[in-house]
């Protein structure tokens, strides 16, 4: 177990592999969205509300991988006040 203390302004993002692996084909031969793109998407929106961060990330993932998703996506964004 890892202790983590959040302070006002911090953003916590919890996601399943359906988000980071979006875009990968059934054969596993196409590029996936990846953790680095996800981190960058969060950084670009870090000053926005939790809802706007979530919406922006989902929009970016869907633009990257416009085909039907092969896996479920769960994304939780929380901002500490």
Q: Where are the domains of the chain?
A: 11-79
pLDDT averaged per 10 residues in sequence order, the chain, 81 residues:
89 95 72 95 96 96 86 94 88
pTM: 0.84
What pLDDT is stored for residue 27 in this prediction?
63
User: In this structure, what are the phi and psi dihedrals at residue 58, rounded to the nearest 5 degrees?
Assistant: -60, -40
Rounded-to-integer distance, Cα 6 and Cα 3, Å? 10
b/e for 28-56, b at 16 or more Cβ within 10 A?
eeeebbbeebbeebbeebeeeebeebbeb
Strand partners of residue 68: none
Rounded-to-integer distance, Cα 19 and Cα 41, Å? 12
Q: Which two tokens stand for residue 47?
A: 């000053």
What pLDDT is stored for residue 47 in this prediction?
94
What pLDDT is stored for residue 53 in this prediction?
97
What pLDDT is stored for residue 76 in this prediction?
97
């Amino acid at each position: 177990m890892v202790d983590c203390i959040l302070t006002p302004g911090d953003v916590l993002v919890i996601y399943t592999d359906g988000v980071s692996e979006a875009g990968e084909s059934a054969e596993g031969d196409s590029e996936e969205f990846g953790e680095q793109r996800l981190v960058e998407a969060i950084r670009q929106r870090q000053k926005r509300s939790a809802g706007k961060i979530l919406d922006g990330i989902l929009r970016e993932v869907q633009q990257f991988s416009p085909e039907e998703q092969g896996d479920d996506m769960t994304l939780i964004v929380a901002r500490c006040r």
